[in-house]
């Protein structure tokens, strides 16, 4: 069950910390402690070898109060019910924090996508979509890319759903390629959003980005874009990491070149010239001004937190810091940009994609980017002001604002019947 998962417990502890400090109806909080609806499916897939393998798939809708469920679909060997349920809860706060008309949801399939051929991945994605078909829809639940999935998987979901409905229905999923009714700027959105938040935090902390050193854990869609955007602003990227290991490069590395290298090396950064292999502990203990954990959840524990040198911790990933580590980080005076705002750029631009698909009227890159900046910077500044006014940490402030809005909406609508 999901309740036993450490990550779910972490998400619950965050919710409880809000309930303790804010005057919210305890009955509403009780409802928010559970996902509204969870679907677990078996996904039989004919492998290229001819044998059949069965994967487990999940779609958890934590809340549908503010609108359709919204959140990514991840393909990863780590995926389990607890992880997906925790991530769905975080999506609720994230959407509410930036005032998107969505509830929170998340999906996953327990598989190693690097070990599946494109044909196997296609069959798995289509079968998963078919299995959860009664629970998704443009007004019910809209999936998007997450770890291990991207534009191609979204195209297969779009196609499978449309084939069942008998007409083209691009608004069923976001994160599609621009050629397939996706939006411009979705692929870069999460990484760019991280950097807009870092710019705001650096202004407050009086840190000059041109003189800043940065470490980035995770070199996927979020980490690689954030690294390139920061590099373009004059930061020195002194540490990078992905599934192939943690690496330091005190002289700095050009993330564009690293991307090219990874493209030709099975998407692994290991072996690139200038990278010195270190342990995860050494990586996070590196001298730097900005650290961007943009990989998995629960990467920074108490011990790692004790050795952090950064002044800004920008959570590109969801839930990268454990509850115990969070206390240490606060005591050290590091400014945390909490996940639910830091990586909200992805879902913000997903919202733009959904709106464009419903209207069949498409925006320019400038329109997408300026609206993204407007929403995410406003959210960051709002969280910071609220934190200052109430003497809250940035995380607590973000959580209070996210949970409070959802709770108010639920309270006003009332409990049916
Ligand atoms: N998977 C992303 C997230 O965790 C994006 C979700 C979306 O675009 O709906 O926020």
Residue ID of nearest Cα to ligand 1 atom 6? 71
Determine phi and psi for 298, rounding to 5 degrees.
55, 45
Q: Determine the distance separating the centroid of ligand 1 and the alpha carbon of 251, expressed in angstroms.
A: 34
Of 289, 318, 342, the last residue of a domain is 342
Q: Find the largest Cα–Cα distance for the chain.
A: 64
Question: Starting at the edge strand that comes first in sequence, how are the strands of the sheet with 290-293 ordered?
Answer: 276-278, 245-248, 236-242, 213-217, 290-293, 312-314, 335-337
Residue 204 belongs to some domain of the structure: yes
Q: Determine the distance separating the centroid of ligand 1 and the alpha carbon of 417, expressed in angstroms.
A: 32
Instruction: Mark whether 138 and 237 lie in a shared domain.
Output: no
Query: Tell me, what's the pLDDT at 338?
Result: 98
Query: Tell me, what's the pLDDT at 304?
Result: 98
Residue 393 belongs to some domain of the structure: no
Instruction: Mark whether 236 and 169 lie in a shared domain.
Output: no
| Strand ranges in 175-297 using DSSP code E only, listed in sequence order | 213-217, 236-242, 245-248, 276-278, 290-293
Q: Which atom of ligand 1 is nearest to the CA of 349?
A: 8
Q: Which atom of ligand 1 is nearest to the CA of 143?
A: 9
Q: Which residue of 71, 172, 296 sits with most ligand 1 atoms within 8 Å of its CB, as the best mutation to test the pocket?
A: 71
Task: Report whether residue 174 contacts ligand 1, using a CB cutoff of 6 Å.
Answer: yes
124 Cβ contact partners less than 8 Å away, ≥ 6 residues apart: 43, 45, 55, 109, 111, 116
Instruction: Mark whether 137 and 249 lie in a shared domain.
Output: no
When divided into structural domains, the chain yields a total of 2
Task: Report whether residue 149 contacts ligand 1, using a CB cutoff of 6 Å.
Answer: no
What's the Rg (C-alpha) of the chain? 20
Q: Which atom of ligand 1 is nearest to the CA of 142?
A: 9
Query: Tell me, what's the pLDDT at 334?
Result: 98
Instruction: Mark whether 123 and 40 lie in a shared domain.
Output: yes
Task: Report whether residue 345 contacts ligand 1, using a CB cutoff of 6 Å.
Answer: no
Q: Which residue of 84, 87, 91 sits with most ligand 1 atoms within 8 Å of its CB, as the best mutation to test the pocket?
A: 91
CA neighbor of 380 nearest in space, from 137, 197, 188 = 197
Q: Which residues pair with 240 in a beta bridge?
A: 216, 247
Residue 94 belongs to some domain of the structure: yes
Which sequence positions are flagged as catalytic?
106
Per-residue pLDDT tens, the chain, 417 aa: give them: 898 999 999 999 999 999 987 788 999 999 999 999 999 999 999 999 999 999 999 999 999 999 999 999 999 999 999 999 999 999 999 999 999 999 999 999 999 999 999 999 999 999 999 999 999 999 999 999 999 999 999 999 999 999 999 999 999 999 999 999 999 999 999 999 999 999 999 999 999 999 999 999 999 999 999 999 999 999 999 999 999 999 999 999 999 999 999 999 999 999 999 999 999 999 999 999 999 999 999 999 999 999 999 999 999 999 999 999 999 999 999 999 999 999 999 999 999 999 999 999 999 999 999 999 999 999 999 999 999 999 999 999 999 999 999 999 999 999 999
Of 174, 208, 233, the last residue of a domain is 174
Residue 386 belongs to some domain of the structure: no
Instruction: Mark whether 153 and 67 lie in a shared domain.
Output: yes
Instruction: Mark whether 252 and 145 lie in a shared domain.
Output: no
Instruction: Mark whether 120 and 249 lie in a shared domain.
Output: no
Residue 410 belongs to some domain of the structure: no
The CATH number assigned to the domain holding 54 equals 3.40.50.10860
Q: Which residue of 72, 186, 189, 342 sits with most ligand 1 atoms within 8 Å of its CB, as the best mutation to test the pocket?
A: 72
Instruction: Mark whether 129 and 192 lie in a shared domain.
Output: no
Query: Tell me, what's the pLDDT at 244?
Result: 97
Residue 139 belongs to some domain of the structure: yes
Instruction: Mark whether 149 and 41 lie in a shared domain.
Output: yes
Residue with tokens 């005591």: 331
The CATH number assigned to the domain holding 202 equals 3.40.50.720
Task: Report whether residue 150 contacts ligand 1, using a CB cutoff of 6 Å.
Answer: no
C-alpha to C-alpha distance for 109 and 301, rounded to whole angstroms? 26
Residue 409 belongs to some domain of the structure: no
Range of the domain at 148: 2-174
Q: Determine the distance separating the centroid of ligand 1 and the alpha carbon of 70, expressed in angstroms.
A: 7
Query: Tell me, what's the pLDDT at 24?
Result: 87
Instruction: Mark whether 216 and 130 lie in a shared domain.
Output: no
CA neighbor of 376 nearest in space, from 393, 355, 351, 359 = 351
Query: Tell me, what's the pLDDT at 21?
Result: 78
Residue with tokens 């869609």: 221
Of 313, 342, 371, the last residue of a domain is 342
Alpha-carbon distances of 128 from 42, 114, 121, rounded to whole Å: 8, 18, 10
Check: CB of residue 32 under 8 Å from CB of residue 63. Answer: yes
Coil/strand/helix, residue 45: strand
Instruction: Mark whether 135 and 220 lie in a shared domain.
Output: no
Instruction: Mark whether 162 and 19 lie in a shared domain.
Output: yes
Q: Determine the distance separating the centroid of ligand 1 and the alpha carbon of 390, expressed in angstroms.
A: 29
Q: Which atom of ligand 1 is nearest to the CA of 145?
A: 1
Query: Tell me, what's the pLDDT at 22?
Result: 78
Count Cα atoms within 13 angstroms, Cβ side, for 35. 30
Residue 285 belongs to some domain of the structure: yes
């Amino acid at each position: 069950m999901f309740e036993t998962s450490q990550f779910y417990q972490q998400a619950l502890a965050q919710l409880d910390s809000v309930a303790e400090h804010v005057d919210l109806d305890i009955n509403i909080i009780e409802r928010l402690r559970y996902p509204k609806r969870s679907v677990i499916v078996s996904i039989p897939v004919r492998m290229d070898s001819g044998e059949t393998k069965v994967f487990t798939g999940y779609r958890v809708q934590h809340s549908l109060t503010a609108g359709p469920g919204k959140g990514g679909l991840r393909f990863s060997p780590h995926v389990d019910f607890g992880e997906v349920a925790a991530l769905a809860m975080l999506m609720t706060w994230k959407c509410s924090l930036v005032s998107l008309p969505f509830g929170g949801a998340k999906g996953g399939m327990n598989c190693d996508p690097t070990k599946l051929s494109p044909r196997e991945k296609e069959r798995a994605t289509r079968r998963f979509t078919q299995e959860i078909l009664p629970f998704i829809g443009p007004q019910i639940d809209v999936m998007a890319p997450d770890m291990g999935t991207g534009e191609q998987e979204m195209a297969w979901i779009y196609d499978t759903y449309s084939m069942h409905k008998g007409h083209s229905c691009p608004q069923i999923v976001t994160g599609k390629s621009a050629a397939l009714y996706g939006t411009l700027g979705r692929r870069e959105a999460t990484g760019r959003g991280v950097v807009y938040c870092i710019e705001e935090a650096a202004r407050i902390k009086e840190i000059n980005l041109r003189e800043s050193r940065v470490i980035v854990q995770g070199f996927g869609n979020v980490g690689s874009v954030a690294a390139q955007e920061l590099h373009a602003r004059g930061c020195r990227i002194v540490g990078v990491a992905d599934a192939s290991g943690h690496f330091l490069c005190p002289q700095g590395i050009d993330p564009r070149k690293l991307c090219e290298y990874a493209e030709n090396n099975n998407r692994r950064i290991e072996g690139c010239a200038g990278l010195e292999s270190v342990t995860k502990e050494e990586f996070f203990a590196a001298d730097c001004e900005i650290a961007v954990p943009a990989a998995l959840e629960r990467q920074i524990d108490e011990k790692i937190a004790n050795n952090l040198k950064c002044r800004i911790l920008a959570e590109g990933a969801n839930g990268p810091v454990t509850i115990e580590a969070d206390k240490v980080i606060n005591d050290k005076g590091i400014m945390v940009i909490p996940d639910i705002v830091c990586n909200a750029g992805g879902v913000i631009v997903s919202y733009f994609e959904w709106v464009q698909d419903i209207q069949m009227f498409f925006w320019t890159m400038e329109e997408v980017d300026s609206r993204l900046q407007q929403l995410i910077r406003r959210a960051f500044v709002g969280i910071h002001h609220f934190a200052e006014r109430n003497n809250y940490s940035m995380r607590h402030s973000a959580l209070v604002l996210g949970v409070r809005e959802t709770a108010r909406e639920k309270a006003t609508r009332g409990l049916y019947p």
